[in-house]
């Protein structure tokens, strides 16, 4: 019997980008993603996450960030550890699942980013409702996904890898339409 080696790859070409009207759509490099589900009591996970990764367990709609990784609120009693391998000691505090090849991440950044997203998601994107660092699980162009505001004019969008090309196409088409309208 032959040995079989599987290698996870991004669903989209990493680094692929489009810039229009100073607004950029960029496919982000695939990073380690681990879902954390603490069950009824999140306190042991909060303690373990702080001790082993220096990250706080974020409140709903939030994230905690360090240079080597981040923890993202990912739904009720769900969190996503991004960019670092989870300490095995977290397993006593939460159910962990590797999600690295299940999601695709795209960055939308620039002066038209909010206007583009306003056409693709029902979320309130005003600064007061979605400040920098805020995150939400929501519909993005009829796909369920995650939207995190990573900069004053930048958003990281995550969708299931099976919807990656659809997300990229919808972002491109919407950016082209918004940029054309701005040019009038």
* pLDDT tens-place string over residues 14-52: 677 899 999 999 999 889 999 999 988 999 999 999 999
Mean pLDDT, range 48-62, rounded to an integer = 96
Phi, psi of 139 (to 5 degrees): -80, 135
pLDDT on residue 103: 95
69-75 and 154-160 beta bridge pairing: unpaired
Residue 8 has pLDDT above 70, yes or no: no
Amino acid 54: pLDDT: 96
Per-residue pLDDT, 16: 72
* Contact present, 108 and 148 (Cβ < 8 Å): no
pLDDT above 90 (res 72):
yes
Per-residue tokens: 125 = 């994107």
Please say whether the dihedral angle defined by the alpha carbons of residues 22, 25, 29 and 35, taken in this order, is positive or negative: positive
Give yes or no for a contact between 32 and 84, defined as CB atoms under 8 angstroms apart.
Answer: yes
Give the phi and the psi of residue 95 in degrees, each rounded to 5: -80, 130
The domain limits of the chain are 19-30+101-183, 33-98
> Is the pLDDT at 1 greater than 60, yes or no?
no
- 3-class secondary-structure state, position 19: strand
pLDDT at 41: 93
With 90 as the cut, is the pLDDT of residue 155 above it?
A: yes
Q: What does the pLDDT look like over 95-153, one tens digit per residue? A: 999 999 999 999 999 999 999 999 999 999 999 999 999 999 999 999 999 999 999 99
CA 102/CA 34 separation, integer angstroms? 10
pLDDT at 102: 93
Please say whether the dihedral angle defined by the alpha carbons of residues 73, 74, 78 and 80, taken in this order, is positive or negative.
negative
CATH number attached to the domain at 19-30+101-183: 3.30.1360.120
Q: pTM here?
A: 0.90
Rg, Å, the chain Cα set:
17
CATH topology of domain 33-98: Alpha-Beta Plaits (3.30.70)
Judge whether 163 and 169 are in contact, CB under 8 Å. Answer: no
């Amino acid at each position: 019997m032959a040995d079989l080696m599987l290698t996870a790859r991004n669903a989209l070409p990493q680094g692929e980008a489009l810039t229009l009207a100073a607004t950029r759509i960029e496919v982000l490099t695939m990073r380690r993603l681990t879902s954390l589900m603490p069950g009824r009591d999140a306190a042991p996970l909060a303690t373990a996450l702080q001790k082993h990764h220096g990250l706080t367990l974020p409140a709903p709609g939030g994230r905690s960030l360090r240079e080597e990784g981040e923890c993202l609120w990912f739904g009720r009693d769900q969190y996503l550890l991004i960019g670092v391998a989870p300490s095995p000691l977290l397993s006593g505090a939460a159910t962990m699942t590797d999600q690295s090849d299940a999601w695709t991440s795209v960055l939308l950044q620039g002066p038209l980013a909010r206007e583009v997203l306003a056409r693709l998601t029902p979320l309130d994107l005003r600064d007061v409702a979605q400040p920098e660092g805020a995150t939400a699980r929501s519909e993005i162009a009829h796909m369920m996904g995650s939207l995190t505001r990573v900069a004053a004019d930048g958003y990281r969008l995550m969708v299931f890898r099976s919807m990656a090309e659809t997300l990229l196409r919808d972002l491109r088409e919407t950016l082209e339409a918004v940029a054309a309208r701005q040019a009038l």
